Amino acid sequence: MSENDAGDHVDAGIFSCRRPPQSPETPDASDKRGARAGPADPYLYRMDYPSMGTCVIINNKNFHKSTGMNLRNGTDLDAGAAMKTFSSLGYKMKMANDLTVKEMQDLLYNVSIEDHSNSASFVCVLLSHGDEGIFYGTDGCVQLKALTGLFRGDRCRTLVAKPKLFFIQACRGTCLDDGIETDSAGDQSSERIPVEADFLYAYSTAPGYYSWRNTSCGSWFMQALCEMLLKYGRLELMQIMTRVNNKVALDFESASSTPGFSAKKQIPCIVSMLTKDFYFPH
């Protein structure tokens, strides 16, 4: 099946599968964001800054022939949904399409050296092909750590002790998940903290596995992430991400004419170094 056909694709650029498009689900407008403890709570990130912060979206769709990576049809839907979602949550958006490795590094470096003193947090959405620990630019791959590490506490001082959230839609290997049947459905600036603290990495799939993307609807992970953020934005972030895991695990399954690629499942992987609870403001 060519990349121009509708259906599911894995973000390693090798195989593709198809499933019928799902009906969009409408966020529950009556689900109000609840009251929370004030900024003095030592287990709660401060949200009383002038700005929520910056959200950077890197959306790589077209790749140089030398990489062997296929066109990522459907990724523009992911980028558009992320733009709408994080904009509605109060972030200042920066979108970049089809960046080389150097362009990705330069963009994120330039963002990392900006003054984030008036920002409550930072968000980065990365959409591309990948492998374990690897993320693709249009001309090749780079260690994911080379991108996210630009925001470590010793490199980005104005985001120290503030949440830095990375949402990564990319494959992490070439394993397929067959599934299994079940029977049941106030900051103290004088404190020393680890430079790796206050990061959250939300991967679309578990280590070693393919990540599925539908050419008509977008990737399973980004569909679920944007829906759950809009529907349950009043909840603590890890509760929201658990709902993302639940939706991807239960609501999606591949259907393919390619032998061995039917009825496959996926589970996102949330790696948290957050040190406090994170709530989006009212």
Q: Which residues form the catalytic set? A: 129, 171
Cα(179)–Cα(222) distance, integer angstroms = 20
Residue in the block written with tokens 């492998």? 131
Angle at CA of residue 224, ends 222 and 228, nearest 5°: 120
Concatenating the DSSP letter of every residue in 135-201 gives EEETTEEEEHHHHHGGGSTTT-GGGTTS-EEEEEES---SB-B-----S-----TTS---TTTTEEE
Residue 181, token pair as written in the block? 């049947």
Q: In 3D, which of 97, 198, 93, 75 has the Cα closest to residue 148? A: 198
* Cβ atoms 130, 269 nearer than 8 A: no
Residue in the block written with tokens 């829906």? 227
Q: Is 123 helix (H, G, I), strand (E, B) or coil?
A: strand
* Cβ atoms 197, 238 nearer than 8 A: no
